[in-house]
Structure 1
Amino acid sequence: MISSACDQLIEFVRDHYSTNEFIPLHAPVFRGNEKAYVTEAIDSTFVSSVGGFVDRLESEVATYTSSPRAVATVNGTAALHVALRLVGVAPDSYVITQPLTFVATCNAIAYCGATPIFLDVDRETLGLSPQAVERWLEEHAIRDAEGVCRERVSGKVIRACLPMHTFGHPADIDGLVRVCRQWGLALVEDAAESLGSFYKGRHTGTIGDIGTLSFNGNKIMTTGGGGMILSGQVLAERAKHLTTTAKQPHAYEYVHDEIGYNYRMPNLNAALGCAQLELLEDFIREKRRLAEAYSNCFRHSSLDFISEPKDCRSNYWLNAVLCSDRSERDALLKLTNDRGVMTRPVWQLMNRLPMYRNAPAGDLSNAQWLEERLVNLPSGVKAGGPD
């Protein structure tokens, strides 16, 4: 059965990309002003952490997402690290997150000296489940006299909740906002994969207390390496200060008033990003057409295509299908990769990794079910544009 579905998939992918060569999962595409803007940055001699393209990219991303402010960083992990610090995540505290995510989500928590609490995801969104969070808190947490959320046995502070918008599909943010308000938790959105995705008309990363984006080379648009913090004015000012080595403005003196980070995005990278942002809506239209075509392709197949959640617009960063079980998943992965069509399983669950194996965790039935079945498919846009 899986052999027939695999043949159908490979034929579809090769026809879509019009090639018999190797087909990657998601390659960057440069077909706009990228070379012109990068050349302009080089000619200006401002190629490092100061330059007009950095300011422009921050302003344009803020406008696109309707965020009050956007602060550029060297990568998405750095953005997430600073975002967690800004909401008070400190050593020996906890952050609730999902095990079905890329390792950077958990690493950013660890950079703060904190520990993740792994709770389950929803199958419909692939994101952190508000119901799972609520159940775990009711069983394992209390709010003290000052309203601080604490783990019941250890008394450690549970500071924040960190969902990830998996493969560009928005998580159930309204549900998470409700639970976080009830328990006094900061809500930090890891929107690394979801630039261009909207939840009930609001851009991902702008609904919680603070959010972050990634512009890595494999994302829907890229700056080569880069990220962005989305927040209100007050947190943005703090973010800008921390990411620029906590240096006080002065004409010539070097005054640093706290431990900061050299997390600034270079102007060269921002120049590339400004050109890519001009193409973003074109990329999304093409990716959504591909998702629709995939969905039609699998309509009478044993593979189940993952569609965007209700009332959302997904950027469909990575398209994905669900197999019937792990053996079918493994067969699909081998058959496609052996024939030059790149597919990938979802990440190994974070609670299985050696550095997070002893972290607290709730029931993870949905995450484990998805781990056994999910396969990502080629999802990039065509270099020459749509046919």
Structure 2
Amino acid sequence: MSRIPVYEPYLGGNASAYVNECLTTGWISSRGAFISRFEDAFAAYVGASHATSVANGTVALHLALEALGVGAGDEVIVPSFTYIASVNTILQTGAMPVYVDSLQDTLQVDPQAIRNAITRRTRAVMAVHLYGHPCDMDAITALCRDQDLLLVEDCAEGFGTRWKGQHVGTFGDVATFSFFGNKTITTGEGGMVLAKSPDVMDKCRRLKSQGVSPTREYWHDMLAYNYRMTNIQAAIGLAQIEMAEEIIQRKQQIAEIYRTRLSQLPLRTHDSMGDVDHSHWMCSIIVDRMEDRDRLRAHLADDQIETRPFFPLASHMPHCHSDQIFPNGESVSKRGINLPSYPGLTEQQLNRICSSIAGYFEVRAR
């Protein structure tokens, strides 16, 4: 029985041709025509004015926060139920993460919890679009506007995700994306930063490239970083953008198959809530009983089906621990499973996955 991984990149289209062009022309590092082509294509796809590419999604967040001037003495409100990079990058700026709970139905940050957490030191809110579903951007943008707070969108898992027709990443003062190998579109590693302000975007571009002067060679007038993407990565990214609609449509089809086939079991799928486009970066289930989560994963592993647990709460990590209690995040974190979610899944593989899940509950019911 062949193993079914939780994810495989969906490579094809012009990827090989574009990469070979990099190799034959010698433009393999962080300069080359594919950098700007990918950035322009990405900006056009999501509906942004500009975009700048970076080495990965984590440095994208750090770069965005630094460009906004977030630092020591500032508080940044962030959901506890998120991947650790969201919190690590806040800490790297010297700012303090302030954790809040999430909503049970969408898995996204609770806007009311954000409002309740605001203090005189609050500088920014980080909205994380988790597993491909958008946050409530009407409520969050209104809150940030009313309270004069910066809005940072962590869209690492949100490519192809829309709130009321508008692509995530275009609401905030800054936004970031990840192109890791398991993301909806990939460059192997890589990321992208968007910014509404031309000045903030210009600072992102300077900060990611050692702070080099735009007018003087080898002159660096700020503490900065080397966060640049390579031309080879951008070549792959451009090919991926060209196939984006095909990839997202197939992932949504897979999510619908899971939803239909698993609907009578003691679990729920992570479905769209409201006027949204859920990109289903990961097709997820939340079991009714906490004790079933790890047992079901072990059962699937025995059937050579790889899964992932939901993220543990960031507030439980030793280096950024908090004694606060977040009941919604705690509950879904311990009951959630990411199922195989890649566009290349066959009908036979999907049948096998769904049958294995159903088989676990049939045995448990005896």
The TM-score normalised by the length of structure 2 is 0.92
Per the alignment, residue 154 of structure 1 pairs with none
Asked if 1:274 corresponds to 2:255, the answer is no
Per the alignment, residue 211 of structure 2 pairs with 246
- Whether contact under 8 Å (2:77, 2:117) holds in the other structure is no
Say which SS state the counterpart of residue 163 (structure 1) adopts. Answer: strand
Aligned equivalents of 1:247, 1:124: Cα separation in 2: 46
- Whether contact under 8 Å (1:94, 1:117) holds in the other structure is yes
- Whether contact under 8 Å (1:88, 1:159) holds in the other structure is no
Aligned equivalents of 2:348, 2:43: Cα separation in 1: 28
Asked if 1:236 corresponds to 2:201, the answer is yes
Per the alignment, residue 327 of structure 1 pairs with 291
Displacement of 1:250 in angstroms is 4.3
Per the alignment, residue 17 of structure 2 pairs with 36
The TM-score normalised by the length of structure 1 is 0.87
- Whether contact under 8 Å (1:29, 1:383) holds in the other structure is no
Is the alpha carbon distance of 1:37 and 1:381 closer, same or farther for their aligned partners in structure 2, counting shifts above 3 Å? same
Aligned equivalents of 1:386, 1:229: Cα separation in 2: 38
Per the alignment, residue 6 of structure 1 pairs with none
- Which of 28, 38, 54 pairs up with 1:73? 54
| Structure 2 runs not aligned, ≥5 long | 350-366
- Which of 178, 187, 193 pairs up with 2:151? 187
Displacement of 1:385 in angstroms is 11
Say which SS state the counterpart of residue 218 (structure 1) adopts. Answer: coil
- Whether contact under 8 Å (1:159, 1:186) holds in the other structure is yes
Q: Which deviations, in whole Å up to 9, do the C-alpha atoms of 1:219-255 show, x marking residues without a partner?
A: 011111100001222321111111111101347x310
Aligned equivalents of 1:279, 1:227: Cα separation in 2: 18
Greater than 2 Å deviation, 4+ residue runs = 383-387
Q: Which deviations, in whole Å up to 9, do the C-alpha atoms of 1:301-331 show, x marking residues without a partner?
A: 1121110221000110101111112211111
* 1:260 partner amino acid: A
- Which of 278, 283, 308 pairs up with 1:314? 278
Say which SS state the counterpart of residue 174 (structure 1) adopts. Answer: helix
Say which SS state the counterpart of residue 316 (structure 1) adopts. Answer: coil
Aligned equivalents of 1:383, 1:236: Cα separation in 2: 38
- Whether contact under 8 Å (1:125, 1:172) holds in the other structure is no
Per the alignment, residue 15 of structure 1 pairs with none
Displacement of 1:364 in angstroms is 1.1
Per the alignment, residue 367 of structure 1 pairs with 329
Q: Which deviations, in whole Å up to 9, do the C-alpha atoms of 1:247-288 show, x marking residues without a partner?
A: 01347x310110111001010110111111111110001011
Aligned residues: 348
Per the alignment, residue 4 of structure 1 pairs with none
* 1:364 partner amino acid: F
Per the alignment, residue 199 of structure 1 pairs with 163
Asked if 1:61 corresponds to 2:26, the answer is no
Per the alignment, residue 253 of structure 2 pairs with 289
Displacement of 1:55 in angstroms is 0.4
Aligned equivalents of 2:24, 2:108: Cα separation in 1: 44
Q: Which deviations, in whole Å up to 9, do the C-alpha atoms of 1:62-102 show, x marking residues without a partner?
A: 00001111000000111100111122211232110011111
Aligned equivalents of 1:167, 1:312: Cα separation in 2: 13
Displacement of 1:125 in angstroms is 2.0
Is the alpha carbon distance of 1:386 and 1:250 closer, same or farther for their aligned partners in structure 2, counting shifts above 3 Å? farther
Aligned equivalents of 1:246, 1:219: Cα separation in 2: 29
Per the alignment, residue 23 of structure 1 pairs with 4
Aligned equivalents of 1:93, 1:135: Cα separation in 2: 17
Q: What is the alpha-carbon root mean square deviation over aligned residues?
A: 1.8
- Whether contact under 8 Å (1:194, 1:204) holds in the other structure is yes
Aligned equivalents of 1:302, 1:59: Cα separation in 2: 45
- Whether contact under 8 Å (2:312, 2:334) holds in the other structure is no
Is the alpha carbon distance of 1:158 and 1:244 closer, same or farther for their aligned partners in structure 2, counting shifts above 3 Å? same
Displacement of 1:384 in angstroms is 8.8
Asked if 1:106 corresponds to 2:87, the answer is yes
Aligned equivalents of 2:130, 2:345: Cα separation in 1: 25
Aligned equivalents of 1:56, 1:378: Cα separation in 2: 31
Is the alpha carbon distance of 1:324 and 1:385 closer, same or farther for their aligned partners in structure 2, counting shifts above 3 Å? closer
* 2:335 partner amino acid: R
- Which of 58, 66, 69 pairs up with 1:85? 66
Identity of aligned residues (%): 36
Q: Which deviations, in whole Å up to 9, do the C-alpha atoms of 1:176-209 show, x marking residues without a partner?
A: 1122122221010000111111111110111111
- Whether contact under 8 Å (1:30, 1:383) holds in the other structure is no
Displacement of 1:383 in angstroms is 7.3
Q: Which deviations, in whole Å up to 9, do the C-alpha atoms of 1:339-359 show, x marking residues without a partner?
A: 21011111111010001114x
Aligned equivalents of 1:281, 1:239: Cα separation in 2: 28
| Structure 1 runs not aligned, ≥5 long | 1-19, 142-149, 151-156
Per the alignment, residue 255 of structure 1 pairs with 219
Asked if 1:118 corresponds to 2:118, the answer is no
Say which SS state the counterpart of residue 134 (structure 2) adopts. Answer: coil
Aligned equivalents of 2:234, 2:348: Cα separation in 1: 26
